[in-house]
Amino acid sequence: MNDNAIPPQRGRFSSLADHALLTRWRRPAPQRLNLALQGGGSHGAFTWGVLDALLAHPSLQFEGLSGSSAGAMNAVVFANGWMQGGREGARLGLAKFWSDVARQMPWGSMTQGEGEAISLSPASKLIANLASYFSPSQLNPFDLNPLRDLLIAQVDFEQLRARSPFKLFVGTTQANTGKLRVFRETELTVEVLLASACLPKIHHSVEIDGEPYWDGGYSANPAVFPLFYDCDSRDILLVLLSPLVREGTPHTVEEIEARIVELSFSANFMREMRMFSHATEFATPGFLTLGKLERRLHKMRFHMIDSSQLPCLHRTETKLIAHTPFLEFLREQGRERAAHWLSAHAGSVGQQSTVDMKKWLT
């Protein structure tokens, strides 16, 4: 035995390799989140801000993203950017997408006010009201859609179908049956994304495999069940654009119509969340009798970032305003809400729910 050799000491690492191995073992694993992203036209810029803040938090990883309409746009652009450049690529991709959206129309001449007080100008409201008396085939016989060119230019659909970094679930509504169809990342095309955001009073129906499709928000805004059944992560973060509680009862014709549209886009989501809450409550508590479904229900952890107390998001007309200052305002609001949630609840991911589903839904 070499007299100069130093024998291993009890309680000490015998080699640098052992030290590195134990360090990795002790290091907490990144927490994975599934994201459920609501749609809402230009209000989706709020979700842009939420995602931007989440991307800046290195301890969070992501597995599945589900969205309809603007939520689907955010999910796909997020995944495409990550595929091309990781976290920073996702942040840059979202910023470019919303900046390009804002350049589509001369919104400065079509709006009045700014920030929370922004609204359509009287002339714009008149035009929008007159347009409601015509069908898309009358107003836009050539089916021109600048969003198509924007998406083709930014999203590499072929590569995303082949190697998406996340599981993607894009909600659409079959126009002839009213059924929800959720497209996966392996099925993604520009037509799928346009279908998910197709408002039939504004756009022509989008045909896929001979079937006409409308906005996914009519049947799921967004679909949460794919994140439950098809993802391993038990944590789902809901990013909501529709107010959970609206102050005041609508009285005017305009207010009533806006509220009816809002309810139609949120009813299926609320019903699905109530199903999760009730199913968990009624799942058999005994260990020996727990089946696969019951075990999964009891392991589910829900979290939520919502846009409550943002008056501008309570007005339906602002969903149409893709004006740069307004979108940037919404992004900052989303960042602030997400930063507050991260400060209060990031440590709960992987541990416990941070939203009381029973209290919220009753």
pLDDT at residue 34, as a whole number: 98
Average pLDDT of the segment spanning 51-57: 97
State how far the Cα of 318 lies from the Cα of 120, in Å rounded to an integer: 8
% pLDDT > 70, the chain = 75
Cis peptide leading into 222, omega within 30 of 0? yes
> DSSP labels for 115-129?
GGG-EE-HHHHHHHH
pLDDT at residue 328, as a whole number: 93
Confidence of residue 173 (pLDDT cuts 50, 70, 90): very high
Look at 293 and 353; give whichever has higher pLDDT. Answer: 353
Which of 282-298 are b and which e, b meaning 16 or more Cβ less than 10 Å from the residue's Cβ?
A: ebeeeeeeeeeebeebe
| 8 Å CB contact between 191 and 206 | yes
Report pLDDT digits (tens) over 291-323: 788 888 888 999 999 987 777 666 676 777 777
- Name the nearest CA neighbour of 301 among 238, 259, 253: 238
Helix, strand, coil content of the chain in percent (nearest 5):
55, 15, 30
pLDDT at residue 116, as a whole number: 59
- Name the nearest CA neighbour of 345 among 212, 235, 202, 206: 235
pLDDT at residue 295, as a whole number: 84
- Name the nearest CA neighbour of 305 among 276, 341, 280, 336: 341
State how far the Cα of 312 lies from the Cα of 132, in Å rounded to an integer: 22
pLDDT at residue 133, as a whole number: 45
pLDDT at residue 105, as a whole number: 60
pLDDT at residue 172, as a whole number: 97
Task: Count CB atoms within 10 A of the CB of residue 132.
Answer: 11
State how far the Cα of 132 lies from the Cα of 77, in Å rounded to an integer: 30
Local structure of residue 230 (DSSP, 8 states): S
Structure tokens at 309: 């107390």
- Name the nearest CA neighbour of 152 among 185, 194, 111: 194
**What is the amino acid identity at position 44?**
G
State how far the Cα of 109 lies from the Cα of 357, in Å rounded to an integer: 43
pLDDT at residue 21, as a whole number: 45
Confidence of residue 96 (pLDDT cuts 50, 70, 90): very high
Q: How high is the mean pLDDT of the chain?
A: 82
Report pLDDT digits (tens) over 120-135: 555 455 445 544 444 4
Structure tokens at 46: 């709020």
Q: Where are the alpha helices (DSSP H) in 245-323?
A: 253-282, 292-299
| 8 Å CB contact between 72 and 216 | yes
Name the 3-class secondary structure at 17. helix
Segment holding 174, helix H or strand E:
strand 167-174
